[in-house]
Amino acid sequence: MTHEHVETFLAVVTYGSISAAAQRLFLSQSTVSSRIQQLEEELGSPLLIRQKGHRSVELTSFGNAFIPLAGQWASLWKDAQNLKAASDIRTLTIAGIDSVNNYTFVPLFRKLIHSHPNLKLTIHTFHSGEIHSLVESRAADIGFVFSQINYPDILSRPVYRELMYLVCHKDSPYGDGIRCQELDPSREVFLRWGQDYQTWHDRRWSPEHFPAVTVNTGSTLQRYLDEPGRWAVAPMSVIQEMRHDPSIVYYKLADPPSPRICYELTSRYQNAYHREAIDLFRRELDTFIRGDEAICSFEPWMLEEGQEP
């Protein structure tokens, strides 16, 4: 007994005739009759009373008794199909810092949503320390941070780097090759891009010199570069989002901070269900990185301060 047999029987009962059932199922009448006969043979009892000249069907007592069982069969089959469909869905929880989630990886996330509809993403934005904890506790499947903290149960993989640039209002008296000592720290819009960046910053400007304003997201950074002379240091992914504003420009620094390294965090103990989704995400991630001119795959030289290819 197959789903097609049961489906055909229920269609005959619902629509009252073999011809009407055939029309609804987009089958020939002979196919419908054949399926009913095969079902009767398997059950060992007739389901329909066949009378010449009668277009409508009449059920035998056995046929009437079989209706609720056929309905249960059809319902179970549907549940099984829904379960199968659900088993094809893969979920992935990603925890990243603001610049990754809201700038660098937006095109990647959009591509995944479009190209892999069975991969369902949950994207959360946190600070680096929180992301390490979330991955360690397996509340997040993948984390993206710009700092390394050694956790015994976390695997850390450097995946890409971005160079850092001076960004400012177009009427500012700056240009390519400007040295940090030429920049007035009281005109800075400061965003702490990570511990490595903080160390680099403290070596060039005394902590006693307060910036004009301190912010904590790239989108906020742009709002305070509205006056000539104000400046900030930012990675290319953030600058790209600012370039729709013609008043914003960027320049190379003579003594820039080290390239900003993004690390992918995953748990050492992944289950098979999430490993498949993570592997798919990684393949798309690596393809995305190779195709984006603003970022590139990790290489050892990127850890050397002030270097660029």
Binning pLDDT at 50, 70 and 90, where does residue 137 land? Answer: confident
pLDDT for 305: 46
- Any bridge partners for residue 46, and if so which? none
DSSP reduced 3-state for 215: strand
pTM surpassing 0.95?
no
Q: How far apart are CA 236 and CA 190, in angstroms?
A: 16
Tens of pLDDT, residue by residue over 5-36, are: 988 988 888 888 888 888 888 889 899 889 99
Crossing angle for the helix pair 29-43 and 18-25, nearest 10 degrees?
Answer: 110
Nearest partner of 148 among 258, 264, 238, judged by Cα: 264
Tens of pLDDT, residue by residue over 119-131, are: 999 999 988 888 9
Cβ neighbors of 81 (< 8 A, separation 6 or more) are none
**Contact of 235 with 100, CB cutoff 8 Å:** no
- For the ranges 34-38, 49-53, 283-287, the lowest mean pLDDT is seen at 49-53
Q: For each of the domains in the chain, give its residue range(s) and CATH number, in order of start.
A: 3-87 (1.10.10.10), 90-161+259-303 (3.40.190.10), 164-251 (3.40.190.10)
Q: How far apart are CA 76 and CA 243, in angstroms?
A: 56
Q: How far apart are CA 249 and CA 171, in angstroms?
A: 9
